[in-house]
Amino acid sequence: MQHEVIIIGGSYAGLSAALQLARARRAVLVVDGGQRRNRFAATSHGFLGRDGASPAQIAAEAHAQVLAYPTVQWVDGQVTQLSGRADAFEVALADGSRHSARRLILATGVVDQLPTIAGLAERWGRQVFVCPYCHGYELQQGTIGVLATSAFAAHQAAMLPDWGATRLFLNDTLVLDEAQHRHLQARGVQLVAGAVAALQGEGQSLEVLLRDGQVFALDGVFVTPRSTLSPLVAQLGCGGNDGPLGSHIAVDALQATTVPGVFACGDVANPAASVAFAVASGAMAGVAAHRTLIFGLDDQQQRTVASSPAVVGLETAAGREALLTQAARPPGDRSSDSST
């Protein structure tokens, strides 16, 4: 079946993109596999107007609003193949159906690789988190743990004292330099040596058990899983960015990928994951895709916006991740910054 735009992924970013296109009266197909990334969380925070709402409720209401537009179609299914080029993309589903479109928007495709620590996976989204802006406030300034699984843990630990007393579990993984030691000490972070054996506790209680037998009671734990991209991304040939947080699709300020006619939005294109960011990037992807249907892929006005100094450094996921990493450095440490 022929559509003007096919959106892969019907969560916050995908629905936001679909809404913009629907309001432009364009024929849109949304394909969704029913695996929202934040499906493990009971509440969503930081999204203006819906702070504290259930992620499922936000998604359900958005789904109903978008599907009320007559030019939007929805298919529950798994995409098995993406192929083609601008104006002639083809999407194959597991049920054997095939759909074609002039433009593609990828709003899914990133997978969390959780650390293999006993007791962690079953607490993911309930007592184990990644984003302090999303879940830190609800810990009520209690005791917070950071499990080091990569060098990025130093960044997390430096941030978290704003939300509660923080312990950084080095986990026989993280080696800090002198500047990091000073910064974490200044932030009041307690360093705990030794490998983490498990997370444990009944009900609302939470403990970190070290291999040497030490036990630490906590109110919440933060960890940074690395993300990987779905093989579907490689089928299209979209360029990617690899950083401390994993792999993401490379996009410009208009959410355009390196493949003409393909846009990406949401967590698959931004390591700073949140519902608010996903909705914003989805809206941009929908508007940008619509403009290319009118003005072509070389719309100069869009390119001018994308190259504006206001967005330099933010036009790619790598740029945004670099800014996050830079912000984690101790004050005055800008040794790797480019000179101007």
User: How far is the CA of 179 from the CAs of 16, 83, 136, 183, 337, in angstroms?
Assistant: 42, 48, 26, 6, 16
Q: Are the C-beta atoms of 133 and 46 separated by less than 8 Å? A: yes
Structure-token pair, residue 74: 């929805």
Structure-token pair, residue 172: 């026989």
CATH 3.40.718.10 fits 2-112+226-326, yes or no: no
Give the DSSP per-residue string, 113-135: E----BTTGGGBTTTEES-HHHH
Residues 6+ apart with CB under 8 A from 85: 260, 261
Q: Are the C-beta atoms of 266 and 282 separated by less than 8 Å? A: yes
pLDDT digit string (tens) for the chain, length 340 residues: 689 999 999 999 999 999 999 999 999 999 999 888 888 788 889 898 999 899 999 999 999 999 999 999 999 999 999 999 999 999 999 999 999 999 999 999 888 889 999 999 999 999 999 999 999 999 999 999 999 999 999 999 999 999 999 999 999 999 999 999 999 999 999 999 999 999 999 989 999 999 999 999 999 999 998 888 999 999 999 999 988 888 999 999 999 999 999 999 999 999 888 899 999 999 999 999 999 999 998 865 555 555 555 444 444 455 555 545 544 444 444 443 333 3
Structure-token pair, residue 18: 């679909």
Domain chopping of the chain, boundaries: 2-112+226-326, 115-222
pLDDT score of 303: 59
Question: Homologous superfamily of 115-222 in CATH?
Answer: FAD/NAD(P)-binding domain (3.50.50.60)
What backbone torsions phi and psi does residue 217 show, to the nearest 5 degrees?
A: -85, 135
> Burial, 56: exposed, middle or buried (Cβ in 10 Å; 0-12, 13-18, 19+)?
middle
Rounded to an integer, what distance in angstroms lies between the CA atom of residue 127 and that of residue 20?
Answer: 35
pLDDT score of 156: 95
CB atoms within 10 A of CB 310: 9
pLDDT score of 307: 54
Q: Are the C-beta atoms of 126 and 40 separated by less than 8 Å? A: yes
Rounded to an integer, what distance in angstroms lies between the CA atom of residue 44 and that of residue 49?
Answer: 11
Structure-token pair, residue 276: 């608010």
Residues 6+ apart with CB under 8 A from 29: 1, 3, 5, 6, 7, 72, 73, 74, 75, 99, 101
- Equal CATH topology for 2-112+226-326 and 115-222: yes
Within 16-109, strands assigned E span: 28-32, 72-76, 79-85, 88-93, 98-106
Structure confidence by residue, pLDDT tens digits, 141-200: 999 999 999 999 999 999 999 999 999 999 999 999 999 999 999 999 999 999 999 999
